[in-house]
């Protein structure tokens, strides 16, 4: 089905992650993402999210691409949003996988999740031995890097669990030093999402705070800086998913084209894209903020 890696963990409360999440929310690092405060119990305990949950299966799906925007001065878009919306593409694959399991094994109950429910995907991935949580707070696989979508199957079947791996970030501080808005704490492993360019350009519905003027590194949707500078991403390989190929017009648009972007072009280029989440007005807001 195209997944690169799979790991399994026992469905049980994530006690350490619960403490970390509580502290993170207390400090307001989630900004205006009020949904992060909701369903706390379900977020940290899969047995409260899925009845009879026994195992959490995490899968990784590669989205890395070497394709780039032609105009170096064009406002930038994160690689994950080049093609079709990953929520739909991967959710369909997960459903197929669950059906396959039920056909092969018999009665197995479960639910599929792709970044759309209170599931701590990265924590489960790390617990399942699929990598470690890096100083940039992303999951890093030692042989493949971090350009992966995470997908989760929570099942009522008892499966053999995998073991976590050690952290290999070492003394490296490249992501911390490269972050344009200093969103990663000086020690790493902690992200103030309210300062993150991905948050500012996607999650934040209000005006982008003026203190970020000149700090956005020309990103109009998302940001890849902390991944681009990570040494482990030298092991990244191009994805093989046709659905993630960019619209033919996306990479050729110049800085001037983006400045004059019409709603018609927006709807055509981003017809099935995750970029539609910010709507035409949101993307125009981001582009205007970069120009002022």
DSSP symbols for 161-187: PP-------TT--HHHHH-TT--B-TT
Residue 95 located in a structural domain: yes
Nearest Cα neighbor of 79 from 168, 176, 20, 145 is: 145
**Is the Cβ–Cβ distance between 289 and 258 less than 8 Å?**
no
pLDDT digits (tens, 9 = 90+) for 70-98: 999 999 999 999 999 999 999 999 999 99
pLDDT digits (tens, 9 = 90+) for 240-255: 999 999 999 999 999 9
pLDDT digits (tens, 9 = 90+) for 31-83: 999 999 999 999 999 999 999 999 999 999 999 999 999 999 999 999 999 99
Q: Of 124, 155, 186, at which residue does a domain stop?
A: 155
Q: What is the mean pLDDT of residues 265-273?
A: 96
Same domain? For 133 and 19 the reply is yes
Residue 217 located in a structural domain: yes
- Give the chain's domain count: 2
Same domain? For 151 and 183 the reply is no
Same domain? For 195 and 262 the reply is yes
Residue 168 located in a structural domain: no
The pLDDT value recorded for residue 32 is 95
pLDDT digits (tens, 9 = 90+) for 121-135: 999 999 999 999 999
Residue 41 a catalytic site member: no
What DSSP element (H or E) covers 60? strand 55-62
**What number of other Cβ atoms are within 10 A of residue 57's Cβ?**
24
Same domain? For 86 and 43 the reply is yes
The pLDDT value recorded for residue 35 is 93
pLDDT digits (tens, 9 = 90+) for 162-195: 999 999 999 999 999 999 999 999 999 999 999 9
pLDDT digits (tens, 9 = 90+) for 191-233: 999 999 999 999 999 999 999 999 999 999 999 999 999 999 9
Same domain? For 44 and 182 the reply is no
Same domain? For 127 and 230 the reply is no
What does pLDDT average to over the chain?
97
**How many helices (H) does the chain have, and how many strands (E)?**
10, 8
Same domain? For 120 and 54 the reply is yes
**Is the Cβ–Cβ distance between 287 and 221 less than 8 Å?**
no
Residue 13 located in a structural domain: yes
Nearest Cα neighbor of 79 from 196, 223, 180 is: 223
- Alpha carbons 263 and 137: distance in angstroms, whole number: 35
Range of the domain at 144: 5-70+78-155
The yes-or-no verdict on residue 292 having pLDDT over 70 is no
- Alpha carbons 201 and 159: distance in angstroms, whole number: 40
Same domain? For 134 and 226 the reply is no
Q: Model's pTM, two decimal places? A: 0.96
Residue 256 located in a structural domain: yes
Residue 161 located in a structural domain: no
Same domain? For 96 and 205 the reply is no
The pLDDT value recorded for residue 116 is 83
Residue 165 located in a structural domain: no
CA angle 28, 31, 33 (to 5 degrees): 115
Residue 230 located in a structural domain: yes
Same domain? For 226 and 105 the reply is no
- Alpha carbons 281 and 261: distance in angstroms, whole number: 10
The yes-or-no verdict on residue 290 having pLDDT over 80 is yes
Determine which one of 71, 115, 156, 257 is catalytic. 115
The pLDDT value recorded for residue 30 is 97
Sign for the CA dihedral angle at 286, 289, 290, 292 comes to: positive
Percent of the chain with pLDDT over 70: 100
The yes-or-no verdict on residue 161 having pLDDT over 70 is yes
Same domain? For 178 and 150 the reply is no
């Amino acid at each position: 089905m195209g997944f690169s890696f799979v790991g399994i963990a026992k469905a049980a409360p994530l006690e350490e992650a619960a403490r970390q999440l509580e502290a993170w929310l207390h400090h307001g690092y989630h900004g205006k993402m009020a949904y992060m405060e909701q369903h706390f119990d379900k977020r940290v305990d899969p047995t409260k999210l899925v009845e009879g949950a026994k195992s959490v299966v995490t899968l990784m799906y590669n989205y890395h691409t070497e394709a780039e925007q032609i105009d170096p001065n064009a406002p930038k878009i994160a690689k994950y949003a080049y093609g079709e919306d990953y929520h739909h593409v991967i959710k369909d694959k997960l459903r197929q996988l669950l059906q396959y399991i039920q056909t092969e094994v018999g009665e197995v109950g479960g639910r599929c999740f792709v970044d759309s429910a209170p599931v701590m995907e990265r924590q489960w991935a790390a617990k399942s031995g699929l990598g470690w949580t890096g100083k940039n707070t992303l999951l890093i696989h030692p042989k493949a890097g971090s350009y992966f979508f995470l997908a989760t199957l929570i099942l009522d079947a008892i499966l053999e669990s995998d073991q976590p791996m050690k952290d290999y970030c070492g003394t490296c501080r490249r992501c911390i030093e490269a972050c344009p808005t200093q969103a990663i704490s000086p020690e790493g492993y902690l992200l103030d999402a309210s300062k993150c360019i991905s948050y500012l350009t996607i999650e934040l519905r209000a005006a982008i705070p003026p203190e970020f003027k000149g700090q956005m590194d020309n990103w109009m949707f998302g940001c890849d800086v902390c991944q681009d500078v990570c040494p482990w991403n030298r092991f990244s390989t191009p994805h093989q998913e046709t659905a993630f190929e960019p619209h033919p017009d996306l990479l050729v648009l110049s800085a001037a084209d983006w400045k004059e972007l019409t709603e018609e072009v927006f709807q055509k280029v981003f017809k099935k894209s995750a970029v539609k989440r910010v709507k035409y007005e949101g993307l125009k807001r981001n582009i205007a903020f970069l120009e002022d």
